[in-house]
Amino acid sequence: MGSLDSNPASFDAFAAEADGFQPLNAEDVRSYLHKSVDFIYDYYKSVESLPVLPDVEPGYLSRLLQSAPPSAAAPFDIAMKEVREAVVPGMTHWASPNFFAFFPATNSAAAIAGELIASAMNTVGFTWQANPAATEMEVLALDWLAQLLRLPESFMMNRTSAGRGTGGGVILGTTSEAMLVTLVAARDAALRRMGSNGVAGIARLTVYAADQTHSTFFKACRLAGFDPANIRSMPTGPDTDYGLDPSKLLEVMQADVDAGLVPTYICATVGTTSSNAVDPVGAVADVAARFNAWVHVDAAYAGSACICPEFRHHLDGVERVDSISMSPHKWLMTCLDCTCLWVRDAHRLTDSLETNPEYLKNDASDSGTVTDLKDMQVGVGRRFRGLKLWMVMRTYGSTRLQEHIRSDVAMAKLFEEWVRADDRFEVVVPRNFALVCFRVKPHAGMTEEETEAANRELMERLNRTGKAYLAHTVIGGKFVLRFAVGSSLQEERHVRSAWELIRKKTTEIMSGEMSV
Amino acid sequence: MGSLDSNPASFDAFAAEADGFQPLNAEDVRSYLHKSVDFIYDYYKSVESLPVLPDVEPGYLSRLLQSAPPSAAAPFDIAMKEVREAVVPGMTHWASPNFFAFFPATNSAAAIAGELIASAMNTVGFTWQANPAATEMEVLALDWLAQLLRLPESFMMNRTSAGRGTGGGVILGTTSEAMLVTLVAARDAALRRMGSNGVAGIARLTVYAADQTHSTFFKACRLAGFDPANIRSMPTGPDTDYGLDPSKLLEVMQADVDAGLVPTYICATVGTTSSNAVDPVGAVADVAARFNAWVHVDAAYAGSACICPEFRHHLDGVERVDSISMSPHKWLMTCLDCTCLWVRDAHRLTDSLETNPEYLKNDASDSGTVTDLKDMQVGVGRRFRGLKLWMVMRTYGSTRLQEHIRSDVAMAKLFEEWVRADDRFEVVVPRNFALVCFRVKPHAGMTEEETEAANRELMERLNRTGKAYLAHTVIGGKFVLRFAVGSSLQEERHVRSAWELIRKKTTEIMSGEMSV
């Protein structure tokens, strides 16, 4: 039994009153949602003052809430009270303007509204027929975003558009899923080319990515059954700013071919999680072409920046890759989850992913004139995610979306300048987007271990204040602080406050003051 | 250019006014959400009168909306106008009380509110530290639901609860993902037991399921790299009401072992999509135990019914399986997406799915006292899905949830009685839950083909009316109509109207009237 768990006696009347339970009664829906909107309004107004990282111990929630499900109904206000009193105090507030960790999960009024409407309509658009509007809105939103990114036309034509290209797109939940489905398509195509009997040849297939690639890529390879020994994590270094070196890639792939292996897939990242490194997309595609290997571009975070002409060059060569994914839930103000995947030849995906059970058969699918998006993802069920993405573009237009990206980058640049102007610090790798990787630099004969300890101490002291939250990484053996600008409520004053706090805590540490 | 695409001239002023774009401005959020709530209220009030299945052609939406993304911002009302005028007319209305297709996507005021709040907070709880409240709420919601289902304790103890068991749960997006992650865990465990060098032994692993199992299972097996030749779809028939026959399973598994293959995984379904057949969980587990194979129970739809004591026997034997999944987004009034997976030994999952990149390392994870839920799923990012599921149980209590299940089953039973009382029809398989599989039966020397044609004609005529939508399946070679009761706004009068419509259209067809 937790401490917030008892229903006041007045509930008995409430619980007894029910006469035919109507879970979607329109009056209740409106009432519950109005209360939720009030909560959200208050939350956004106050989140700045809440500790970004909560001071709770594992198991804290089960000590506050009841451990067994109630049998009686309770007014919605009770759930809201428990959210306020038990959930909020244990939250890491990604919406806080003082959040600088990981990558921001940017969001917007239009996106939340789109998600709300989709939740209420609650359709399951696995086939076109199961919700034509959802499929077509998803295709339209992907085509709009592809235009903003200036992706080649070949990626853009789903079968429901005029023109009937071979390309196609789909909205998935995570980049990991985008990697997995393209890995499986590439795997199956390679096995077919080898004339493999079933999966017998799978142990000969090889995949490649820079060592800076997100760990989820290496996990997706294992999920798809690639041999752990054949998953090549290519070393990178400061000479390429931690981007993949195409000449080394060529060497390794050729050596694999010489050893009787079959290069199958390369993942190139535009904007790595660790440091925002950029693999050279065009050069990677050129190497891959020699071996008929699939190239996927993971632009989860930095893809959003490529809607600005000044960042678009990071995608140069994309017309020669097989697939690209990016996540508007990271930096395009679209609440979770929304990862966009485009492929040049949708049939290569559907060849591996199509199912056709009797209970989903229908004339539209049989006609071949529509895309059933279930055949481009892991599962069957799917939410109406296209709505929120379309609403973001429809409401803000490309001008404001670009303005938003540029404003974040300008704030990061300012922070970078402050770091450079204080000789206790160093910027460890060049800043490409809105992430600054920096650290307290070794001084007065400090060893690398002592430098790491000082930076760890700085991070921990900062995060304990509740006034800023940032995370770390390790680049080239160095322990580095990641300062990611862009939380949607963030303004320059928050970046400035965080910087002042960093300076203050650094001074404390250097003068040997104890942590408070 | 579509027909709804021009911005009135008055927008220019609006677009020019922007001074520092604030995508999460609390006033805007409140305003957009209030408009969305008004829309939802109107939608629920009117959805009954809308055609359930829309009369639109592929590509209809791109003819109504602009084909290129706007550069200028537009008032939110414009997006809402286009939703009303272009999206709604192309929707298949799963929320309609006249929807009887597939399985209903049930929903509730509490769930939508929970999803809305989660969307606004927009946290990414990949690790415990990244949002302690989200991880702990998910664990608590899963423990509550496990109690309602009377799952064995061994499934229930995530590491953040007191007690520290080996079991654990996670909320995923789809049943397919639950199957995939358990398949991968079982695959890797089998390879380790075989002493396989990497994945070399994968072509010897075999998996099993009844031929009535959802097609997504067979797809998940291919995603995980199992050899298509080793994926056994076991024939079923009317003698077992289309459930898996454990004695046949034993035979096939033994034959595989005799042939040098390695039985690895069995999927047992409680409530198949096609006809709600139930595989005998306990007997399947007993067979599996002889071969050390993983048993997964897919109770996506019917699992919800098992919160009622009178249906719980369908899970008998679950204490001997390795994992079970069910989807509250199907029948427990929780909007998409919400699939709950429990495993008896969480380490078997995390052994295959754990990642540990530097930028996610933190003291809580290092301490081993918390569960990082990213290690039980395909991706890294994850929404705060536990909130809506908890809110449903907190607000309605088990009593109303059971009442809701029983009410749906009672309506299905009524429908079944009406079908049985009309000698033009037959119920094709026994009704287990709230799905009735029926057809116009052959009469006056009709062949099976003619019977199928009559039933197809009936389905198409019904669906064209817009007053009811139902889907079909094929069971034992027979074309069968599926009447799935339970859409959240459904009342007995809707079931009655649909039945009257079915009778009327059948009379028309039998009297040779042309389709109108």
A99 or A165, which is more confident? A99
Shared domain for A369 and A442, answered yes or no, is no
- ipTM for the predicted complex comes to 0.96
Contact B177, B232 (CB under 8 A): no
Shared domain for A218 and A300, answered yes or no, is yes
Residue of A nearest to B179 (CA): A379
Shared domain for A483 and A378, answered yes or no, is no
Closest to B109 (Cβ–Cβ): which among A24, A273, A360?
A24
Tens digits of pLDDT across chain B (516 residues): 455 655 554 454 444 444 589 999 999 999 999 999 999 999 999 999 999 999 999 999 999 999 999 999 999 999 999 999 999 999 999 999 999 999 999 999 999 999 999 999 999 999 999 999 999 999 999 999 999 999 998 888 665 444 456 888 999 999 999 999 999 999 999 999 999 999 999 999 999 999 999 999 999 999 999 999 999 999 999 999 999 999 999 999 999 999 999 999 999 999 999 999 999 999 999 999 999 999 999 999 999 999 999 999 999 999 999 999 999 999 999 999 999 999 999 999 999 999 988 888 998 888 888 889 999 999 999 999 999 999 999 999 999 999 999 999 999 999 999 999 999 999 999 999 999 999 999 988 889 999 999 999 999 999 999 999 999 999 999 999 999 999 999 999 999 999 999 999 999 998 886 544
B112: closest CA among A25, A382, A95, A15?
A25
Q: Is the torsion defined by CA of A50, A55, A61, A65 positive or negative?
A: negative
- pLDDT tens profile A405-429: 999 999 999 999 999 999 999 999 9
8 Å CB contact of A369 and B58: yes
Q: Is the pLDDT of residue A161 over 50?
A: no
Residue of B nearest to A218 (CA): B355
> Closest approach of chain B CAs to the CA of A47, in angstroms?
10
Task: Please state, in angstroms and rounded to a whole number, the distance separating the CA atoms of residues A402 and B398.
Answer: 49
A269 backbone dihedrals φ, ψ, rounded to 5°: -105, 135
pLDDT at position A368: 83
Task: Identify the CATH number of the domain in which residue A486 sits.
Answer: 3.90.1150.170
Domain span at residue A23 reads: 11-90
List residues of A with catalytic annotation. Answer: 359
Whole-angstrom CA distances from A410 to A319, A352, A434, A497 are: 29, 44, 8, 16
8 Å CB contact of B229 and A33: no
Query: Chain B contacts of A353, Cβ < 8 Å?
Result: 219
In a domain, A111, yes or no: no
**Which tokens sit at B165?**
């068991």
Shared domain for B361 and B408, answered yes or no, is no
Contact A179, A432 (CB under 8 A): no
Task: Identify the CATH number of the domain in which residue B40 sits.
Answer: 1.20.1340.10
Closest to A140 (Cβ–Cβ): which among B28, B65, B102?
B65
Contact A329, A337 (CB under 8 A): yes
Q: Is the torsion defined by CA of A420, A425, A429, A431 positive or negative?
A: negative
Shared domain for B422 and B299, answered yes or no, is no
Tell me which H or E stretch contains B483. strand B478-484
8 Å CB contact of B95 and A121: yes
Shared domain for A182 and A321, answered yes or no, is yes
**Which tokens sit at A431?**
């800043």
Task: Identify the CATH number of the domain in which residue B166 sits.
Answer: 3.40.640.10
* Sequence-ordered alpha helix ranges (H) in A243-385: 246-258, 281-291, 328-331, 346-353, 363-367
Unique residue bearing structure tokens 């000698």? B423
Unique residue bearing structure tokens 């029910």? A18
Supply the DSSP symbol for A208: E
> Closest approach of chain A CAs to the CA of B213, in angstroms?
10
Residue of A nearest to B376 (CA): A219
Q: What pairing do the DSSP bridges indicate for beta strands A262-269 and A294-298? A: parallel
In a domain, B115, yes or no: no
Query: Chain A contacts of B37, Cβ < 8 Å?
Result: 29-30, 33-34, 37, 116
* Residue of B122, B274, B389 to mutate, interface with A, max A Cβ within 10 Å: B122
Task: Please state, in angstroms and rounded to a whole number, the distance separating the CA atoms of residues A133 and A128.
Answer: 8
- pLDDT tens profile A347-405: 999 999 999 888 888 988 888 888 899 999 999 999 999 999 999 999 999 999 999 99
8 Å CB contact of B358 and A474: yes
Task: Identify the CATH number of the domain in which residue B469 sits.
Answer: 3.90.1150.10
Task: Please state, in angstroms and rounded to a whole number, the distance separating the CA atoms of residues A70 and A80.
Answer: 16
Task: Please state, in angstroms and rounded to a whole number, the distance separating the CA atoms of residues A357 and A252.
Answer: 43
A471, β-bridge pairs: A482
Among A384, A414, A432, give the residue marking a domain's end. A384
B246: closest CA among B212, B286, B211, B273?
B286
In a domain, A101, yes or no: no
Shared domain for B58 and B139, answered yes or no, is no
Q: What pairing do the DSSP bridges indicate for beta strands B231-234 and B205-210? A: parallel
Closest to B32 (Cβ–Cβ): which among A18, A113, A274?
A113
Among A75, A90, A105, give the residue marking a domain's end. A90
Integer-rounded Cα Rg, in Å, for chain A is 25
Closest to A333 (Cβ–Cβ): which among B23, B43, B73?
B23
Integer-rounded Cα Rg, in Å, for chain B is 25
- 3-class SS of residue B99: strand
8 Å CB contact of B359 and A200: no
Domain count of the fold of chain A: 3
Whole-angstrom CA distances from B272 to A356, A444, B276, B409 are: 16, 70, 4, 16
Catalytic residue, chosen from B60, B242, B265, B359, is B359
Shared domain for A331 and A355, answered yes or no, is yes
Closest to A74 (Cβ–Cβ): which among B93, B130, B394?
B394
- pLDDT tens profile A170-198: 999 999 999 999 999 999 999 999 999 99
Residue of A nearest to B137 (CA): A61
Query: Chain B contacts of A56, Cβ < 8 Å?
Result: 132-133
- DSSP states along B146-175: HHHTT--GGGT--TTSTT--S-EEEEES-H
A339, β-bridge pairs: A172
* Residue of B136, B340, B481 to mutate, interface with A, max A Cβ within 10 Å: B136
> Closest approach of chain B CAs to the CA of A254, in angstroms?
22
> Closest approach of chain B CAs to the CA of A413, in angstroms?
18
In a domain, A472, yes or no: yes
> Closest approach of chain B CAs to the CA of A107, in angstroms?
7
